[in-house]
Structures are given as C-alpha cells and as structure tokens.
Amino acid sequence: MSIASTSKSVIQDTKAHSLSPNPLITIDLDVHSKKRTIEHVASLISTRCDFCINDILESLILRERLGSTAIGSGIAIPHGRLAHLDKAIATLVLLKEPVDFDAADKMPVRIVFGLIIPEDQSEQHLTLLRSIASIAQDPTALHILNSNKDAHVIFHWLKNRNPELASLML
C-alpha cells in the first residue's frame, strides 16, 4: 500500500470516529527550543494527573540531562518517571518548525512523543519506548505524522497502529 493510499484510508477511517474525546495531541506548536518543547509536554501531561507541572517538568528535564531523548528521523521522546502516579500518560506534539534536540543523527526534531510513567512500571516504560522508536523506522508513519494537520486523524491512525499508546493520550 502506498503512502498516499495509506493516508487516504486513515482520513476515511477517522471520519467515522469523529466524536472521540480530545487526545493529548498538539499540532503546529510554534516553539523554537528544546526547553520550550519540553515545557509544553509537561503542561499537557499536567492536565491529566494530580501532579503539578513543575514536578512533571523536573522529571522530564532530569532525564534529558542524562542524554538527548532524540532518537533520529526527527523524533524525540522526552520521558520521565514519577512515584505515586496511577498510570502512564502520553502526549504527541508536532512542531511547526523543527528544533535542535542534540540528536545523534544531527536531524532537528519535529515529532515529539512525551511520556510520564509510574516509577514502578519499568516494563511498560521500555515497551512504550520501543513502540515509539519503531515509528522512526517506518516511512509511512513518518509521512502520516509529518503531513496531517488534524489531531483526530493522527489519533485514530495511532490508535490502529498502537492502541496502548493511543489510550494513554486520552
């Protein structure tokens, strides 16, 4: 199946599901730095849990200081852990313009998956990171994420590809 026909089928499938709740997806975020991007991710996550934005931001920044969370192909996965968090929370942010995330492949980042995981959920943490990393290896997935401007289209595509990850965005 070609990239164009895949995108078309994603759009058609989404029209049948237009009444879903708003996922934690931001399209065309206009920021110009890694720091501002991570702040936005923390802000989104804070809308779905009882932690203050500063605790979430601190967790994300502490992890980023260990090494860049950019994984290549214009994707980054800023992620962190919090004790006493009930369940993992995921976000997807598509930047208006790519920003430097200190990626090993030197490619600036436009696609940002943010994750906060309960501290005791190591296996889920690794599973989610692997599933997001697989998107970087999939030209069709990259095309869909880079070309669509509708959060619901992207959410339903993601829901079909990875229901667990999509469910963490609700």
Residues known to be catalytic: 79
Look-up of token digits 């852990």: 81
Q: Which two tokens stand for residue 89?
A: 């929370």
DSSP per residue, 24-73: SEEEEE---SHHHHHHHHHHHHHTTSSS-HHHHHHHHHHHHHHS--EEET
Q: Which two tokens stand for residue 110?
A: 């436009």
Distance CA 24, CA 90 (A): 7
Q: Which two tokens stand for residue 61?
A: 């920044």
